[in-house]
Structure 1
């Protein structure tokens, strides 16, 4: 009995459409962002959304909206104790705290990476230091 070769990694993921006529299948241009799926079911223009998020993330868009609403809230002549404004300001503060925390985490990560570079590749480290002025 001839020996059969074990399956390759690629063959484990090999799949075929139930039909193979060229041009008979137009895939949905859907995509995911975290738990959010953007496709023609929940968006009139998923390609537009994908292009926007590709250039300006949801976080960046939301950050700009929060900044603008903060300016509007600060300029209101109404009672500053309005619970909707208070809730929004708390949200904006929480977002700001998260951003500051993440920035500190990123700085720590960069420091570790630079220390690794200095230890593992002194020549590259010297080039980097020389180029940074």
Structure 2
């Protein structure tokens, strides 16, 4: 006796769904988790650009600057200012230092300079604390390193 099939050859109309339902417990278990998970804190990445000690003399300053004025905004301001200067020179017209393009660039540059100054000051304060730790340490090798660093500083 032949069984009658329905629903595109399936003898049980719920057979299709029972397969997918059987996968749900695996989806909610650790079996679906990666065996290796890496989440670096530093270096940070910005649209495929990695900023670290290797490619930036001051990664903290660069990160602070980009969080305020993105690379795109910086390039846009520079492009606008350069375009204005080129147009003025090409037309033999004087350059108005109060032009909107130059003013926007100047404001951005002042913000960037202030951020650089702040991060450099913070870095210097950290270095002074580290030198003090070496000086106050009871370890002879720390004292030798302190003396070596101070000799270098005196040579500046």
For the superposition of Structure 1 and Structure 2, which TM-score range results when normalised by the shorter chain?
A: 0.3 to 0.5
Higher RCO (CA < 8 A, seq sep 6+): 2
Greater Rg, structure 1 or structure 2? 2
TM-score normalized by the length of structure 1? 0.47
